[in-house]
Chain A
């Protein structure tokens, strides 16, 4: 059973329901009425809990190992996905998965930050923390999409850009900067969806798009709450307080007009029903891809420029 700290009070009831179900099966008893009553009670408890989630609660959901990763969605939303590899200069970063696919018959390029679904996979994927070669692979695939006039869909899910020695030596800062610059004028529609953690510049390097969406419980931040707490509160254990002060939830960001759309998750989080979540994302993409493809490219680029241009609050 998936454990989320703010769902503690519901565990007892969940266990009781499972107990009753097993009892009914083993003893061939009819406990349907009792079970239904308890399920209704649990459903209402969940609804209430999920209406009042704090930023820190969202962080727990976004970081769940069980949370669906990019490939979980790619395999359900797109057809005939062919993964493409390499940055052509140095290597292939497993933290980034990218390639070509069909979306309702329309050729698209899909690029994603990929976490692991278990420890072994996480090590292979470097916990979804891309290196410069990952961002360079992403850029190569985006330019390819531009050449062939394919829309680009980016799935963002990273704790941040990898901060190892090699990454620094190979120009992590430069790789991110170059993506920001080229994405801003890429002559093809781009949609970026933050499906889990939007970790700072490492996330932004794949989120300069015509539309930026977030799943309901995803987070998007300048830094991790732990990092923020250690810098500004001089105490990394104040991460909870930092998360609340930083304004990192989808709801905060749509209020600030930093993102364009929130996609609701199934009650309990995307991990409770990845199929339903995928259908929901797909429906949103159908509407958006059609609309963006019809827009003249000049107008698309102007709107993209001003989408980011208008963000910032100053006093003159």
Chain B
């Protein structure tokens, strides 16, 4: 397939502006004629390896590049669709939205704008469903909503779904994606770390299974609370996982950091995660783990 470089139209959808792929549209040759057999917006280019990918192929490989295995970030609804058996997902607390606990200026307005833009009410969706026929409760965070930051709502929704798992004697799987605690809620955000960890403690005492899946990025107060407390901790390839921000560490040390620092592979080496799982086999891996814990 021949594509003219000079006449693309790029469209970036991700809030983080870390699009790893570039959507290719309005292809025209040097005579201004549209190429007959290539409909607009059907092709994307992987920024990591440069390979041109057919959009339908990208979707069927669950937003990963077939060539270099780069895992693009996905929203929580997409994640739930890939993970939970069709028709079995029941959402909890779907209408919960944030208040403004420390009366931070501009916070309420910012939240409304984000709700309109992302069509999400907050940075996490929780609920129950089946994975290959096995019951589980689940929480999936979404970095598109205020960087996946944890405020009162994320803390409350996650605490509730863990408590429900404890009560119904069921496993819980949490997919993490977060820039850390939500600054705009101040001390209330900090306390969500204790609240969620305490809920996990009770679930743990009951002898039930908690699987964490760390996705890109998982940082700050989320790493320092429920994200690193799973019985089994899985991670997606090359996910950024850490506590302190890279820039802060560099400033503290005044030196450059090692290659691959804070990536999933680095954490595996240091002994902090159980397994790196490619998204294409994530569902079946979760199903197998659930099966041996019945």
A177 to B202, CA, bound (A): 14
The reply to whether A182 and B98 form a contact with Cβ atoms under 8 Å apart is no
- The answer to the question of A200 belonging to the interface, with a C-beta cut-off of 8 Å to chain B, is yes
Whether B89 sits at the interface, judged by CB under 8 Å, is: no
Contact A312 B192 (CB under 8 A): yes
Q: Closest Cβ of chain B: how far from A303's Cβ, in Å?
A: 12
Residue of chain A at shortest CB distance from B97? A315
Q: Does B224 contact A165, Cβ atoms closer than 8 Å?
A: no
Query: Does residue B270 face the partner (Cβ distance < 8 Å to A)?
Result: yes
State the Cβ distance, B65 to closest chain A Cβ, in Å.
28
**Closest chain B residue, CB of each to CB of A304:** B198
Chain B residues with CB under 8 A of A308? 191, 194-195, 198
Chain B, Cβ-Cβ closest to A231: B183
B201 touches A181 (CB 8 A): yes
**Are B104 and A245 within 8 A (Cβ)?**
yes
> Given A171-B228, A173-B242, A185-B202, is A313 in contact with B99 using a C-beta cutoff of 8 Å?
yes
Indicate if A1 sits at the interface (CB-CB under 8 A).
no
Are B152 and A312 neighbours in the complex by a CB distance under 8 Å? yes
B189 at the binding interface (Cβ < 8 Å): yes
**What is the chain B residue whose CB lies nearest that of A207?**
B194
Q: With A221-B186, A222-B190, A246-B186 in contact, do A181 and B99 touch (Cβ < 8 Å)?
A: no
Q: A172-B244, A173-B228 are in contact. Are A232 and B187 (CB under 8 A)?
A: no
A139 beta carbon closer than 8 Å to chain B: no
Q: How many residues of A are counted as interface, with CB atoms below 8 angstroms from the partner's CB atoms?
A: 50
With an 8 A cutoff between CB atoms, is B63 at the interface?
no
Asked if A228 is at the interface of the complex by the 8 Å CB criterion, the answer is: yes
B105 and chain A: residue at smallest CB distance: A245
Asked if B228 and A312 sit within 8 Å, CB to CB, the answer is: no
Residue-wise interface mask of A (226-257) relative to B, using a CB-CB cutoff of 8 A (1 in contact, 0 not): 00100110000000000001111000110010
Q: Tell whether B27 is near chain A: CB-to-CB under 8 Å.
A: no
Q: Which of B33-41, B49-57, B245-253 contacts A (4 or more CB under 8 A)?
A: B245-253
Would A177 and B187 be within 8 Å (CB), given that A164-B249, A168-B242, A316-B95 are in contact?
no
Is the pair A312, B191 in contact by a Cβ cutoff of 8 Å? yes
Is the beta-carbon distance between A200 and B190 smaller than 8 angstroms?
A: yes
Contact, CB under 8 Å: B183 / A314: no
Is the Cβ of B183 less than 8 Å from the Cβ of A177?
A: no
Cβ contacts under 8 Å, B201 to chain A: 181-182, 184-185
- Determine the chain A residues whose CB is within 8 A of the CB of B220 once the complex forms: 201
Asked if residues A177 and B195 are in contact (CB atoms below 8 Å), the reply is no
Chain B residues in 8 Å Cβ range of A78: none
List chain A residues, Cβ under 8 A from B229.
177-178, 181
| A232→B156 CA distance, assembly (Å) | 24
Say what secondary structure dominates the interface of chain A.
helix
Chain A residues near B129 (CB-CB < 8 A): none
Does B226 lie within 8 Å of A314, measured CB to CB? no
> A222–B191 Cα gap in the complex (Å)?
9
Determine if A208 is an interface residue (Cβ-Cβ < 8 Å): yes
Please, which residues of chain B bring their CB within 8 A of the CB of A200?
Answer: 181, 190, 221
Within 8 A of A (CB), among B74-113: 93, 95-102, 104-105
Q: Are A309 and B159 in contact (CB under 8 A)?
A: yes
> Of residues 142 to 188 in A, which have CB atoms within 8 Å of B's CB atoms?
161, 163-165, 167-174, 176-178, 180-182, 184-185
Interchain nearest-CB distance for B254 vs A (Å): 11
Residues of chain A lying within 8 A (CB to CB) of residue B96? 314-316
Q: Tell me whether A223 and B99 are in contact in the complex, defined as CB-CB below 8 angstroms, given that A168-B249, A177-B197, A312-B152 are known contacts.
A: no
By a CB distance below 8 angstroms, the chain B residues around A40 are: none
Could you say which of B97, B98, B193 has the most chain A C-beta atoms within 10 Å of its C-beta? B193
User: Residue A305 at the B interface, CB < 8 A?
Assistant: yes
> Nearest-CB distance from B252 to chain A (Å)?
6
Q: Is B276 an interface residue (CB 8 A)?
A: no
Is the Cβ of A256 less than 8 Å from the Cβ of B243?
Answer: no
Minimum CB–CB distance from B210 to chain A (whole Å) comes to 11
Most B CB contacts (10 A, CB to CB) among A180, A185, A208 go to: A180
How far is A165 from B168 in the complex, measured between Cα atoms in Å? 41
Asked whether any CB of chain A lies closer than 8 Å to the CB of B42, the reply is no
Contact for B183 among A172, A182, A232, A316, CB less than 8 A: A232
Q: List 12 A-B contacts (CB under 8 A).
A: A165-B257, A168-B261, A173-B228, A173-B243, A200-B221, A201-B181, A204-B190, A222-B186, A222-B190, A232-B183, A314-B153, A315-B97
- A sample of 4 more A-B contacts (CB under 8 A), given A174-B224, A221-B187, is A163-B244, A256-B101, A311-B188, A316-B96
